[in-house]
Amino acid sequence: MPTCLASSSGLLRSSAQHHSSHVLAISQCAQRCRAPGSGAIRRASTATSSKHEEQRAHVLTVLHKATSLLPRILPNSKPGLQGVSLRDSLGFWEEVLGKVYEDLTPSAEKREKDRVRVAVYGTDWMSGANELVTALLEDPFVSNEQKQTLRSRWKSQPEGSRSVRIQYGTSPSADGDVVHVQSSWLQNFGLPIEVTEFKSPSIGVLPDPETAKALFTADVPIVLCNPISTPVATAATYPGLRLSREHTILAVLSPSPAHPATAAHNSQVEGLASQGNVRVVFVDPARALHGLGMLDGGVASPISVQRYQDDVSGSNISSITHTVKELLPQGSPNVPLAARVVAVHAQTGRALIKDALATSRAVLRKAELEADAVLTATSALRSQMEEAKAKVHLEVFGVEGKDGDEIAKAIAQAKKSVQPTMDSLQWYKLFWRVDDVREVIIAAVDRAWCRDLERKLVFHAGRLAALQTSFTEAANSLCRSFPPASAYQSPVLHNSLARIASAPSYPITATVLTGPLHARQSQLRFPTERLHASAQRAVVGMSGSVLGGFGVAWAGWATELQLFGGLIDIGMSPETALGVGMLGAAVGVRWAVGRWEKAKRRWWKNWDRIGEGLERDLKATLTQTMHGHVLVVSEAACSGLDGLVGKRRAEVEELQDEVQTLETELSRRQVEVTP
């Protein structure tokens, strides 16, 4: 008959056998202590205790630094608010690391009662967590009272209880939320063990914060997952499950390691197993319970024992036991149990600190991505601003140098309209219109000076006002799009934007673009005044020349006729004097006419110069309007956000360096628990 697996593994021993073996172990231990080599053993025990104390002190040092660093990184908001998950909240980690500190600095009374915590949690009611705890802790040949206490453990708990704690005890009892049972599994690791089983939630329900905190602070968390009801990939994303932390066991419900379904499920957990932080096992607790049921009758027949062995072996429950042994440090038996339990807590504390730093690094990475997103948003807004600036010049002034150039067309049209008025001011008309030259030219310029362009500029000023409103709303929307706890939600920036928008110079008026038209038109007054003066000088010159010529001719005739008693004598004959006078008059008139035409050409040169200046002024005014009115709020928002991004990135880099320093210190000074 095959060897009984239960007998070989110690599962068939009775309470009396357990008691006798316990007495024998104590006597053997006493003999070893009296042996000649007991001094070396005590020295080894002292060295191990010193190593454990060094490890505890180191973890406490890093814990103090981490608890000082986390408030500068993690958001201080309640989970679920403002998009903060449970694992990213500062309050959650403060409670978790506070529990680590309590475990590493226990009082004398608590040190004696302290135990290694093993937590069992099922992702849903179909995960088989209840069956797993029963299969692990139930011995096949204990009393029915022991079995009933274990199997009805939830019935002894108060209504609404979310967990039950199970500890070793020779007499079955249920004191409050602690159930004492006689289980060889609880004594299988050389350390006092407490198993905490959490009530499995409904499918798709996340673990509550208290359960999540208990799972995080457990020394060995065991998470059960039924891939049929909750896929492994989905369970891995639950914020309350610490599948990424070291010393976590993920038990996947599967018929057996050799079953085809196990191979299908294995592909789902390859990614988790490759991380090296989680141990994955495939178990079938229902089959293990079925095997235990084969021995419930009290008589272990060969067939029932064989079926028990097949079911227990096929359920792969022993893989959880082996994995827990690998995770728990096997210290020297000469070291006090309390010190070894604290060493396990120190190992858990190191893993939790490492997980907290990994969470901090993930939060800092999110901060970097948020900074990149802010820069992307400001870059997109700036692109829209540049596009608007490029398009507005084409829309207002048209294509430069072509028929679509609105400024050149307006100036050319005005020149064409003024040209007849200037042409009508002939030299011979100056004698009776010399005093009206200035008014005539100014009136002609007023009628013709870029009237169509002025109306178009007033129209485009209205469009710019609408564009200003659009960009201002976009800038304010961008600044308000960040959560209240975000580093980019700046009341100072909001106040600055509101102050700019409420400034008296902020609104765009209808005449915001027409200022250069009136300024340049007023500049034509000076050339017109000069032209008016030239007209007056021309009239005076022509009049003087004509009168002088007539005077010479008259003097010649006066000499010939001996008028005034011969007092006038110019020494010329009358014909010569007449010719000289007419020549002088003609030369004077010609000179005056030339000066008048030259003055008009100079006036047209001033017109062209003022027209060129008008084009420059209009384009500069449009550019200034875009910068100082249309885009002033959006530009201030982009500049302010860029400044906040630069400041935030500097803070993130500094915090990343501090996190890296703590991670390096944690890994460099890692001390082994086992001697």
Say which CATH topology domain 1-35+114-315 has: Rossmann fold (3.40.50)
pLDDT-derived band at 450 (thresholds 50, 70, 90) equals confident
Q: Among 305, 284, 283, which Cα is nearest to 294's?
A: 305
Q: What CA–CA distance (Å, rounded) separates 267 from 233?
A: 10
Question: How far is 202 from 204, CA to CA, in rounded Å?
Answer: 6
More confident residue, 295 or 326: 326
Q: What is the pLDDT of residues 360-383, one digit of tens each?
A: 999 999 999 999 999 999 999 999
Percent of the chain with pLDDT over 70: 75
What does the DSSP 8-state code read for residue 196? E
Q: What is the helix (H) or strand (E) element at residue 18, kind and residue range?
A: helix 15-34
C-alpha dihedral, 299 to 305 to 308 to 312, nearest 10°:
130
Distance set, CA 119 to CA 242, 415, 459 (Å): 12, 94, 75
Closest CA to 407 of 449, 444, 443, 445: 449
Query: Measuring CA to CA, how many Å separate 169 from each of 16, 120, 182, 258, 428?
Result: 14, 20, 5, 37, 134
35-44, 110-119, 133-142, 608-617, range with the lowest pLDDT: 35-44
Residue for token pair 């039950």: 164
Query: Which secondary structure element, helix H or strand E, spans residue 612, and what is its range?
Result: helix 574-625
Q: Are 207 and 119 in contact (CB under 8 A)?
A: no
Please check whether residue 179 is in contact with residue 156, taking contact to mean a CB–CB distance below 8 angstroms: yes
Query: pLDDT tens digits for 397-420?
Result: 877 665 557 888 888 888 888 778
The per-residue pLDDT for range 66-124, each reduced to its tens digit, is: 999 999 998 887 766 666 777 788 888 899 999 999 989 988 888 888 899 999 999 88
Task: Tell me what the pLDDT averaged over the chain comes to.
Answer: 79
CB 208 within 8 A of CB 180: no
Name which of 211, 213, 220 is nearest 136 in CA terms.
220
CB 199 within 8 A of CB 46: no
Q: Using the predicted structure, report yes or no on whether residue 274 has a pLDDT greater than 90.
A: no
Q: Which phi and psi (to 5°) does residue 139 adopt? A: -90, 145
Given strand 173-175, what is the order of strands in its sheet?
173-175, 178-181, 163-168, 193-198, 116-122, 220-225, 248-253, 278-283
3-state secondary structure of 608: helix
The pLDDT-based confidence of 270 (bands split at 50, 70, 90) is low
6-10, 65-69, 128-132, 489-493, range with the lowest pLDDT: 6-10
Which residue type is seen at 211?
Answer: T
Structure-token pair, residue 450: 């870029």
Mean pLDDT, residues 215-233: 86
Residues of the chain with pLDDT > 90: what percent?
A: 21
Strand partners, 120: 197, 222
CA 58, 59, 63 angle in degrees (round to 5)?
120
Burial class (CB in 10 A: 0-12, 13-18, 19+), 415: middle
Exposure letters 556-571 (e unless 16+ CB within 10 A, then b) = bebbeeeeeeeeeebe
In sequence order, what are the residues at sequence separation of 6 or more whose Cβ sits closer than 8 angstroms to the Cβ of residue 173? 149, 179, 180
The per-residue pLDDT for 253 is 87
Average pLDDT of the segment spanning 596-607: 82
